[in-house]
Structure 1
Amino acid sequence: MAAALMPDGNAVFLDKVENYTQLTLGTGRYAYSAEFNFTTNTPRPLSYKTNAFCSGGSFLADGRVISVGGNEPLAEIDSSVGNGFRGIRYFQHGNHRDGWDEPGHLLSSARWYSSVQIMHNKTLLVVSGSLNGLDPMNGDNNNPTFEILNEIGVSITHSIGLSILERNQPYYMYPFLHLLKDGNIFIFVSRSAEIYDAQRQATVQSLPDLPGAYRTYPNTGGSVLLPLANNKDWVPEVMICGGGEYDDPESPADPTCGRIQPLSADPVWEIERMLEERIMVEGVLIPDGKVVWLNGARQGAQGFGTAKKPCFDALLYDPDQPRGSRWTIAGTSKIPRMYHSVALLLLDGTIMVAGSNPVEQPLLESDPSELATAYPTEFRVEIFTPPYLSGDRALRRPQDIWISQKNLTANGSHFIVGFTGTESAQSLKIALYHGGFVTHSLHMSQRLLFLDFDKFFPGSKYQVVNVTMPPSSSIAPPGPYVVYVVLDGVPGIGQFVMVN
């Protein structure tokens, strides 16, 4: 249901309370979370105290991952797990305890399906949610507010009303959030967008509506902040794809995408089409600056047994190509990835694709006679290999990568990157990537930046370059990142760093 790549290179998975998993705890109860070690290919079961079903999340500035909100207890399945609606959970890489740390901190109000964005000052913005996970058509069930957590993940405000959420009920949950270079937040809900100042609790600018269908829950599409770069003055550009017409299995998915530069003098949406319509599609930024759009379906909505006609192709999008030449099919799976799927960029530049649990409790075999049982719980995990590692390109990876310091500051300071390349190499990019918290087609706080550098000598096998950090924490907010050396479009193994 949720995943994050930890600063030690392991992945942590988070799921809901269920009556079956393939891992058990030392107590004999099922594990609803796990840490996976990609070096040994082994999972480690993890416990939690409160039900994390449909939580939001992020990384804290100190490198811990945080999960906020969740769902009610299911005592008939597991009486040891409590109410998660206001729960806050923490997990730290290298922590060899058997579960999430839950010291008892609570959100100011219940939140099921909330989004989280780390801010430039290390605080977390927690936006939207449901008070009880019930019918959002009834406004009494809804929580169209936000609150702020401090840098250690403790709530420091009450729940504050947010008009863009109130106006867009019932399509107001799991909004798309992106931190802009001026420190304000891009918020997108349903079809509506605005720039919001969370400190002043004020809308800075209302943006045009995005044409097409609904784009957020229960008709969730996907959204990315396209790669940032100094030679583009760090100008943010948001891309939103997919969505649907209504909350029903017969709802047609939307084939369109919109791109907008919210800080431009006259922001407008540029509309283009994907290669097929999709609901529950998620965008993964990759080190060469392209976007891989994965998972989802061509019909239906989010929820148990409410989508069909799964999408199997991995769509590769190049934002720097002219319109009409940006989309290609880069691979095809045979596994439906429906509700509760995830895609996660790994250190080696491949993408792990996992999950799909569109049933209330795990279903091991499909029963196509009814939509509710047509797509079983999926325990298989796949690796998608982008074209930059296909064929003999993987042999041209930069090797022996070292970084002069692993604690970096977003203030225009410098650090050194050394590596060994091929003598034929002509181009270099240094990518700084934050993968964020992945759940329900959202990649919360995900961003990729291309850093300036000098002293690169094309054709030289041994390279040492002087790299410049972004000028502010609004461009690179604090937390764990991965540095990728991309030589002639081929990334080396990513190196974890911490940005302050």
Structure 2
Amino acid sequence: MPNGRVVFLDKVENYTQLKFGDGYYAYSAEYDPATNGVVPLAYKTNAFCSGGSFLANGTLVNVGGNAPLTWLDPTVGDGFKGIRYLTRSATNGALDGEDWVEPGNQLDTARWYASVQAMPDGTLFVASGSLNGLDPTVLTNNNPTYEILNPDGTTQGTSITMPLLSKAQPYYMYPFLHLLNDGTLFAFTSKSSELFDVGNSRTTKTLPDLPGDYRTYPNTGGSVLLPLSSTNAWQSSVLICGGAYQDITSPTDASCGLINPYATSPEWEMDAMPEGRGMVEGILLPDGTVLWVNGANLGAEGFNLATDPTMEVLIYDPEAPLGTRWTAGASTNIPRLYHSVALLLLDGSLMIAGSNPDQMPVVSPATDPQGFNTEFRVEVYTPPYLSGDNAARRATDVMISNTVLYANASPFTIAFTTQTSALAVKIALYHGGFVTHALHMSHRMLFLDFEGWEAGKAEQLITVKGPPNNNVAPPGPYVVYVVVDGVPSLGQFVTVA
């Protein structure tokens, strides 16, 4: 969030580590990575398996969810059509700790497992979901449609059938969505993908199916839009890795597909992770690499449907030749299975949390036949660019002239101090989005053009061009990192307008 804290949402359940004064459990929390402090946040409707994204003004919108569990908590209602809002300030703490706001407006149709993508005009594209959380092989349970939320976060009131989602049933929920620089969406579900013109509600290009297993819920792999810059004409490729079949004995898929959706005749370039993974998620880093974390070697998403956790961080370098792009990072000893998450923090480290593979929380592994309890610990992964003495090489005293960046290439300046031995700099503009079920909704990274860098100087003042348009950078909150010789500074929040 713009205040530097991390907000968690969870389902209504019979145990959390936080309670309100009325004795009921909290199902949302605001966490401060700097202090490890946490405060409970209240919501009015069940946010189980919801989606989300940010509005242009920085407000986080959370949509959809599941039925109420009034026998457990009568204070929380039906979340299937729920819309929840949370606002925080980057300049003062006046809003810290405030609860979710739910004024009563709702989605047009019920959505459990819906994906959300921020659009260039400040609207939100909300796609897919279940009408009732029941068997998706029974098509009357499904909602293979999309609707648009206005820039104020209210629905336009119409749900429109999306043929790609209809075709992919029952593997149509939580589709991968990426906004491209012409304003169209790359949309992927199951094994199929297309380019979709939202304004005209039509498919503009059908892409070949991705070889390998199913890739979207409940057989979830991960997907990222690789970093955008003027050197690739603000066009980039989409990478999709991992997947499985929906069975606890299912071996997971190691294959990855890379596709340039702008090509005249796009084809998938196939690669492979060092091991098969389901529930694996990709996180863009300020140095241009991609971290892949969490998940399992066997099974799929769902309660107690996965085993053989994958503990190792994998690092993908898109600039390396095919066949040499993957290296292994550190390992953990904490399984991160269903309902685990990962998020880049302002200091350039990665927060890894979650794993709730149980219908209701299991605190002691001895009570779970697989030994995978509900995980309340938060980990920090330190990428190689901050290991050893690297953190001491950060740029310091970073001063950005404007906290609002206009998406018309308008210039702004950044002053910073660096070591005189520094050789190169990049300016990363990052949007972390909303993270759940291995999806990073609205997630993107840009490298901005600049001039004025002088190698050998300690005190630097560079002039940076803002993003060229809102197709490349939809309006909302972003983080700027000054990356010197691959080492990011502490990030600072800005708004792209």
2-side partners of 1:230 and 1:297: how far apart? 37
Equivalent position of 2:238 in the other structure = 238
CA contact (8 A) 2:40 2:97 kept: no
- Residue 369 of structure 1: how far off its partner (Å): 7.1
User: Residues of 1 paired with 2:20 and 2:83: CA distance?
Assistant: 21
CA distance in 2, matches of 1:96, 1:229: 34
State yes or no: 1:41 paired with 2:36: yes
1:299 equivalent to 2:298? Answer: yes
2:81 corresponds in structure 1 to: 86
Do the aligned residues in 2 keep the contact of 1:33 with 1:48 (CA within 8 Å)? yes
Q: Which residue of 2 aligns with 1:444?
A: 441
Separation in 2, partners of 1:19, 1:55? 19
Q: Which amino acid aligns with 2:30?
A: E
Q: Which amino acid aligns with 2:313?
A: A
- The reply on whether 1:375 has 2:372 as its aligned counterpart is yes
Report 1:423-462 matches (<5 A).
423-462=420-459
Mapped pair 1:317 → 2:316: yes
Aligned to 1:389: 386
User: Which sits farther off after the overlay, 260-269 or 61-70?
Assistant: 260-269
Aligned to 2:92: none
**Conservation of the 8 A alpha-carbon contact between 2:175 and 2:187:** yes
**Is 1:209 matched with 2:209?**
yes
Q: How many residues align?
A: 492
Offset of residue 97 of structure 1: 5.8
- In structure 1, the partner of 2:328 is 329
What amino acid sits opposite 1:388 in the alignment?
Answer: Y
C-alpha contact 1:433 1:447 (8 A) present in aligned 2: yes
Identify unmatched segments of 5+ residues in structure 1.
1-5
CA distance in 2, matches of 1:111, 1:359: 22
1:96 deviation in Å?
A: 4.2
Matches of 1:212 and 1:316, distance apart in 2: 21
Amino acid at match of 1:116: V
- State yes or no: 1:476 paired with 2:473: yes
Cα separation, 2, equivalents of 1:296 and 1:197: 33
Secondary structure of 1:164 counterpart: helix
Q: Give TM-score, length-normalised by structure 1.
A: 0.97
Q: Which runs of 5+ in 2 are unaligned?
A: 90-94
Kept in 1: contact 2:362–2:368 (CA 8 A): no
Write the distance in 1 (CA, Å) between the matches of 2:401 and 2:96: 28
1:124 corresponds to: 124
Partner of 1:192: 192
The offset of 1:144, in angstroms, is: 0.4
Residue 409 of structure 1 is aligned with which of 390, 403, 406?
406
Q: Residue 69 of structure 1 aligns to which amino acid in structure 2? A: G
Equivalence map 1:9-158=2 (5 Å): 9-94=4-89, 95-96=95-96, 98-158=98-158
Give the distance between the partners of 1:369 and 1:156, measured in 2 at CA.
45
In 2, distance between residues paired with 1:100 and 1:335? Answer: 30
Amino acid at match of 1:276: E
* Deviation at residue 471 of structure 1 after TM alignment: 1.1
Deviation at 1:26, TM superposition (A): 2.5
For the Cα contact (< 8 Å) 2:39–2:97, is it kept in 1? no
- Whether the 8 Å contact between 1:45 and 1:98 is mirrored in structure 2 is no
Instruction: Tell me the CA shift for residue 247 of structure 1.
Output: 1.4
| Cα drift, residue 341 of structure 1 | 0.3
Could you tell me how far apart the structure 2 residues matched to 1:58 and 1:418 are? 31
Compared CA separation, residues 276 and 8, structure 1 to 2 (3 A): same
Cα offsets for 1:67-101 (capped at 9, x unmatched): 10000000111010000000000001142464100
One-letter identity of the residue aligned with 1:138: V
RMSD, matched Cα: 1.0
Could you say which residue in structure 2 is the equivalent of 1:3? none
Distance 1:233 1:477 in 2: 17
| Range that drifts further, 360-369 or 40-49 | 360-369
Letter in 2 for 1:170: P
Deviations 1:475-500 (CA, angstroms, capped at 9, x unpaired)? 01100000000001100100100001
Query: AA paired with 1:181?
Result: N
Q: Which amino acid aligns with 1:327?
A: W
- Between the aligned partners of 1:25 and 1:92, the Cα distance in structure 2 is 21
Contact 2:107–2:157 (Cα < 8 Å) also in 1: no
Question: Does the C-alpha gap of structure 1 residues 38 and 97 become closer, same or farther in structure 2, counting only changes over 3 Å?
Answer: closer
Structure 2 SS opposite 1:276? coil
Provide the residue aligned with 2:176 in structure 1. 176
Q: CA deviation at 1:366?
A: 1.4
Note if contact 1:241-1:256 (Cα within 8 Å) is conserved in structure 2: yes
Structure 2 residue identity aligned to 1:91? L
For 1:257 and 1:346, the matched residues in 2 are separated by 26
Q: Are 1:290 and 1:319, in contact at CA under 8 Å, matched by a contact in 2?
A: yes
Is contact 1:129-1:173 (8 Å) kept? yes
Alpha-carbon distance between aligned partners in 2 of 1:142 and 1:393, rounded to the nearest angstrom: 50
Percent sequence identity over aligned pairs:
58
Between the aligned partners of 1:37 and 1:305, the Cα distance in structure 2 is: 30
Distance in 1, matches of 2:479 and 2:4, equals: 10
